[in-house]
Structure 1
């Protein structure tokens, strides 16, 4: 995204993005699929908010975003990339019920 690390961390703090620690050095990492060019993927922040409202941890949210869902079809992150954010948010909202 060509941002200073402080701005990138603020995006994570504001739940515009979600990141997990990975690798030998425990580096904070954001999946590349969460970006569209130099922007946050459209619909991702709202989806992350819905998942957090349903008590999903960051790790659980990441797992959900990359787990295939036959009703979409595909993964939620792929559906967001295909501009089907309403369908993804509908499913994320239903997780609480």
Structure 2
């Protein structure tokens, strides 16, 4: 059986390390860890380092609907890797992926779809 590729941005430049996120959000690294624990951000290990997709951090804030979507995915039983896979699965009815759609007018639709996974 072939292992599926890891979810998330394919481009190495599509990822931020936790210190990079702390700088971008102008918070301490401890605050970034707290945000991950509180499901405000999603981080996964890539090459032994915890990373966060650039798409999930909008300039100096977290995407508005991301914490709600992450909580809904968690409630539906998704672990971090599964949540990342769901966020980066190409969807022809969205502009690319749910992660990309979180940055536009379809963010509420992404949240609605995540909510539907729990039923």
Q: Who is 2:17 aligned against?
A: none
Which whole-Å CA distance do the structure 2 matches of 1:85 and 1:39 have between them? Answer: 15
Which whole-Å CA distance do the structure 1 matches of 2:105 and 2:84 have between them? Answer: 19
User: What per-residue deviation string (whole Å, max 9, x for no partner) do you get for residues 44-85 of structure 1?
Assistant: 010001000000001000110011112334210111111322
Q: CA deviation at 1:3?
A: 2.4
Q: CA deviation at 1:42?
A: 1.4
Q: Who is 1:13 aligned against?
A: 37
Show structure 2 runs of 5+ residues with no match.
1-23
Matched, 1:33 2:49: no
RMSD: 1.2
- Paired positions, count: 95
Report matched runs for 1:56-75 at 5 Å.
56-75=78-97
Which whole-Å CA distance do the structure 2 matches of 1:5 and 1:22 have between them? Answer: 18
